[in-house]
């Protein structure tokens, strides 16, 4: 009578009925599948733990509170969808635990066939319970308590190391462009400042897409590169840095640049540039009158192109200022990410001689194949997934500790 419900529960959870394999005592089978992901007070925390049950109950209440709302924001819809699968599995788990408890109360009959049937039912429920526990754990680890943004501003800036830092800034920038393509996101260029050797001093882009902030927020920080530069004659390994800043961008955010608010000045370009230097008024300076922010551009020979680039720079600066005003913590967030761009503040090291990438924030954060990693494809995605799970574990343990103290 119980086994039919087990099969129904298994099919709803997307599992086949677990009758294959050797038979064990049901208590040992259940213990085998108890999932743990961390420790509180020195003891491993499992789905069956009272503290995590309390946390799951809070998720269940949150889900149904969102479900009955007549109007929901896009973020609330996203949160409800993330909660739905976990809540459904948690409710299925309650049924399985209840049925397993009922089986425990049944006394083994002297009939050998009945004894065997009871053992099979206990084993079936235990296997289902184990699978549900693993998938519930997988579900809550993949969730995120932070707000989700479908858009962000990424800044890539050369740090310590001169031209070598600028060259690596270009490689990192290209890696992120490759990752954007890998994830099928959209990118909008705001500002780039290149060098004669093909590097970049600074680049600012907007990236739009599903889970974009959830993925890329871990890339904010100091990236350290160790290698022999192409210009190094003595073969010494140099250490340089590049800083990456990630600033979330709300859905309702945009910068309205009005011509009446702009003071545009032109002048003759200075520096290297051939016959057009000091002969045409191609350099452009724009002042945003309401804020006093000023930008210049003289990278192109055409005044029209320099004006367009200068406007893009101004939009980037205004956007950053507005976001920092809207989020009081954004400046602290950026400062915590980029620090002072010093070599010892690194979050990740790219060692070319050893063909190694090491993320210093997680255990097992070392991988190889630098060429593949810098393409911005699956290898970078795997590293980001490790970072997310590591941070989520810490976050989850803190949430459960707080819930257990209440």
Residues 6+ apart with CB under 8 A from 90: 56, 59, 60, 136
CB 129 within 8 A of CB 97: yes
Q: Three-state DSSP class for 62? A: helix
189: left (phi over 0), alpha (psi -120 to 50) or beta: beta
Q: Classify burial at 16, counting beta carbons within 10 Å of its beta carbon; exposed 0-12, middle 13-18, buried 19 or more.
A: exposed
Residue 40 phi, psi (nearest 5): -130, 125
CB 173 within 8 A of CB 151: no
The architecture in CATH of the region 259-326 reads 2-Layer Sandwich (3.30)
Please state, in angstroms and as integers, the Cα–Cα distance from residue 262 to each residue in 109, 160, 192, 295, 302, following that order.
89, 35, 21, 11, 20
Asked whether the domain spanning 259-326 has the same topology as the one spanning 151-253+341-393, the reply is no
Structure-token pair, residue 323 = 């976001």
Q: How far is Cα 273 from Cα 38, in angstroms, rounded to an integer?
A: 61
Structure-token pair, residue 395 = 């976050």
Domains of the chain: which residue ranges? 44-145, 151-253+341-393, 259-326
Residues 6+ apart with CB under 8 A from 262: 286, 287, 288, 289, 314
Strand 366-368, strand 43-46: pairing = unpaired
- How is domain 151-253+341-393 classified at the CATH fold level? Alpha-Beta Plaits (3.30.70)
- Name the one residue in this structure whose structure tokens are 């009758």: 19
Structure-token pair, residue 337 = 């990410």
In the chain, the N- to C-terminal Cα span, in Å, equals 40
| pLDDT tens digit at each of 406 positions of the chain | 434 334 334 433 333 333 233 333 333 333 333 344 555 444 556 788 788 888 888 889 989 999 888 888 877 887 888 889 899 999 999 999 888 888 777 665 567 777 788 888 888 888 999 899 888 887 877 776 666 778 888 999 999 888 999 999 999 999 999 999 999 999 988 778 888 888 999 898 889 998 898 899 999 999 999 998 877 777 788 999 999 988 887 766 677 788 899 999 887 766 544 444 445 667 889 999 988 888 888 767 788 888 887 887 788 778 777 766 665 554 555 555 554 444 456 899 999 999 999 999 988 899 999 999 999 999 999 999 999 888 888 877 777 776 666 6
């Amino acid at each position: 009578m119980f086994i039919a419900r087990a099969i129904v529960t298994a099919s709803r959870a997307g599992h086949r009925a677990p009758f294959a394999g050797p038979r064990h005592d049901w208590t040992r089978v259940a213990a085998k599948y108890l999932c743990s992901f961390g420790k509180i007070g020195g003891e491993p925390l499992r789905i069956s733990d009272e503290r995590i049950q309390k946390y799951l109950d809070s998720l269940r209440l949150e889900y149904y509170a969102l479900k009955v709302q007549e109007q929901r924001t896009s973020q609330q819809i996203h949160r409800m969808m993330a909660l739905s699968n976990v809540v459904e599995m948690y409710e299925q788990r309650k049924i399985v635990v209840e049925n397993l408890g009922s089986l425990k109360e049944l006394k083994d009959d002297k009939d050998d066939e009945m004894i065997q049937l009871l053992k099979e039912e206990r084993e079936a429920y235990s296997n289902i319970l184990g699978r549900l526990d693993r998938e519930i754990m997988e579900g809550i680890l993949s969730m995120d308590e932070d707000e989700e943004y479908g858009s962000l501003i990424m800044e890539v800036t050369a740090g310590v190391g001169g031209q070598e830092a600028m060259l690596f800034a270009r490689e990192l920038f290209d890696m992120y462009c490759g990752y954007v393509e890998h994830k099928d996101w959209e990118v909008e260029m705001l500002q780039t400042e290149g060098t004669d050797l093909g590097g970049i001093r600074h680049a600012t882009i907007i990236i739009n897409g599903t889970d974009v902030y959830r993925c890329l927020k871990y890339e904010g920080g100091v990236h350290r590169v160790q290698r022999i530069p192409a210009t190094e004659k003595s073969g010494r390994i140099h250490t340089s840095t590049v800083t990456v800043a990630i600033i979330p961008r709300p859905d309702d955010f945009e910068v309205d640049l009005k011509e009446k608010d702009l003071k545009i000045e032109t002048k003759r370009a200075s520096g290297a540039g051939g016959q057009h230097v000091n002969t045409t008024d191609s350099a452009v300076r724009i002042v945003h009158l309401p804020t006093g922010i000023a930008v210049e551009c003289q990278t192109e020979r055409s005044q029209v192109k320099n004006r367009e680039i200068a406007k893009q720079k101004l939009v980037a600066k205004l956007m950053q200022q507005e976001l920092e005003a809207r989020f009081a913590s954004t400046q602290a967030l950026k400062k915590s990410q980029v620090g002072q761009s010093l070599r010892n503040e690194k979050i990740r090291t790219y060692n070319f001689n050893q063909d190694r990438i090491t993320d210093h924030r997680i255990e097992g954060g070392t991988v190889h194949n630098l060429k593949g990693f810098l393409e911005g494809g699956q290898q970078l995605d795997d590293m980001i997934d490790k970072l997310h799970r590591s941070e989520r574990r810490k976050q989850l343990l803190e949430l459960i500790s707080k819930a257990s103290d209440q």
